[in-house]
Amino acid sequence: MKKLSAFVLCTSFLVSHAAFAQDKPTVQLLATGGTIAMKIDPEKNAPVPAISGEDLLAIVPEVGDYATIEVNNLSNVPSDYMDPPRWVGLTKAVEEALSRPEVSGVIVSHGTDTLEETAFWLDITVDSEKPIVLIGAQRNASSSDFDGPRNLLNAVRIATDEVAQNKGAMLAMNNQINAARYVTKTHTANVESFKSGDYGVLGEVYPDRVVIDRTPTRRQHIPLVTDEMPRVDIVAMYGGADGQLLRHAVDSGAKGIVVQALGMGNMNLPMFEAVQYALSKDVPVVISTRVHNGRVMANYGFEGGGQTTDAAGAIMGGDLSPQKARILLMLLLQQGKKTKDELQPAFDL
């Protein structure tokens, strides 16, 4: 009888333990590289790609308290190497993971240099209520104050928390959560580099819980219809710009142009004439700005002012940074949209 009771007790414990393990959600970590996957090479005395997703996970055993983690090592490259083909592959990997019922969310580890671009790309191309959490690190894995482990642990907590549902792609670094549309890198080295300007953070990760105060509303979904993205170039406006770079971009095959204009979307006469040249060749031109906060508008009436470029047929890029305006234009072009009437609504959202 005692043996039977002991057997029942042991069996009960195993069943309860198994049930507890099964109750933990699954989170997939998609590792792409970046500083978070680098260590100091002794010969070069500089950070180089060195660790896998599994290596990073091994540094943070606490993540097992929150979820079962699957690792998918997509690449191990500096984020400076990210490009449309890699973005297309990443979208497919995220969609595949999130389509599985047991997966509560996806984490993408990534370099910080183009992290905001990849976040915005995924926010537009992936249609899911489940969280997509992007992380990076400002300090490499050889540093005594390596920030990658904390960012990974926070990302797992976000990806398994119901409060993160239906928020789109988010960036989680330095205990802060930022929306993909607005977040940008603001400092080359500081761990509190990623900020969202006037819009502020979505929320924060505290020791006891994840707090998210709002849901991003200015979101849209543009599905991929091809693996080949059209070429879209960014051309900067600055004092004395002559417009030749813009003309060359058109003549060398660019299918769209984003002008990083000044102020509310202004430029000088040579650049304005180059914009007119592009439009005459049926190459769409989006006007953005190098100013960090605010939006471009059809406001100033001098030749090259926002009002004149708008009247000439250029698209006003709203409050999107040049790099994010490029991504949106690229995705719209791959859908076959090309005219101002077809493109402008997506930038007005």
| Bridge partners (DSSP) listed for residue 261 | 289
Compute the distance between CA of residue 224 and CA of residue 119 in angstroms, rounded to an integer.
16
Distance CA 330, CA 155 (A): 29
Q: Is 160 a catalytic residue?
A: no
CA distance 259 to 289: 8
Q: Which of 309, 241, 306, 237 is nearest to 276 (CA)?
A: 309
Residue 113 in marked binding region = yes
d(CA 180, CA 87): 15
Check residue 304 and give left, alpha or beta (phi > 0: left; psi -120 to 50: alpha).
Answer: left
For 224, the token pair is: 């991929």
**DSSP per residue, 224-262:** ---S-PPPEEEEE--TT--SHHHHHHHHTT-SEEEEEEB
Tell me: is residue 52 an annotated ligand-binding position: no
Closest CA to 84 of 233, 220, 218: 233
Half-sphere exposure of 119 (CA within 13 A, CB side): 32
Ligand-binding annotation for 79, yes or no, is yes
Token representation of residue 243: 């417009």
In the set 11, 26, 32, 35, the catalytic residue is: 35
Which position among 32, 91, 112, 289 bears the catalytic label?
A: 112
CA distances for 315 relative to 165, 236, 242, angstroms: 33, 16, 21
112 is catalytic: yes
Binding site residues, as ranges? Answer: 79, 112-113
Residue numbers belonging to the annotated binding site for substrate: 79, 112-113
Q: Which residues are catalytically annotated?
A: 35, 112
